[in-house]
Amino acid sequence: MRLQKYVLDSYALISYMEGAKGAEIVANILKSALIDKAEIFMSVINWGEIYYILLRGQGKEATELYHKTINKYPIKIVDIDKSLTLEAADFKAFNKMSYADAFAATLLKVQKAKLVTTDKEFKTLEDKIKIVWI
CATH number of the domain at 127, please.
Answer: 3.40.50.1010
Residuewise pLDDT in 10s, the chain (134 residues): 689 999 999 999 999 999 999 999 999 999 999 999 999 999 999 999 999 999 999 999 989 988 888 888 999 999 999 999 999 999 999 999 999 999 999 999 999 999 999 999 899 888 889 999 99
Contact by Cβ (8 Å): 11, 115: no
Domain count along the chain:
1
Q: Which helix (H) or strand (E) holds 5?
A: strand 4-8
Dihedral sign for Cα atoms in the order 58, 61, 67, 69: negative
Question: What are residue 127's phi and psi, to 5 degrees?
Answer: -80, -10
Q: Which residues pair with 42 in a beta bridge?
A: 77
Rounded Cα distance between 45 and 49, Å, is: 6
Q: Where are the alpha helices (DSSP H) in the chain?
A: 10-17, 23-34, 44-58, 60-70, 82-94, 99-111
Expressed as residue numbers, the domain containing 106 is: 4-133
pTM score: 0.92
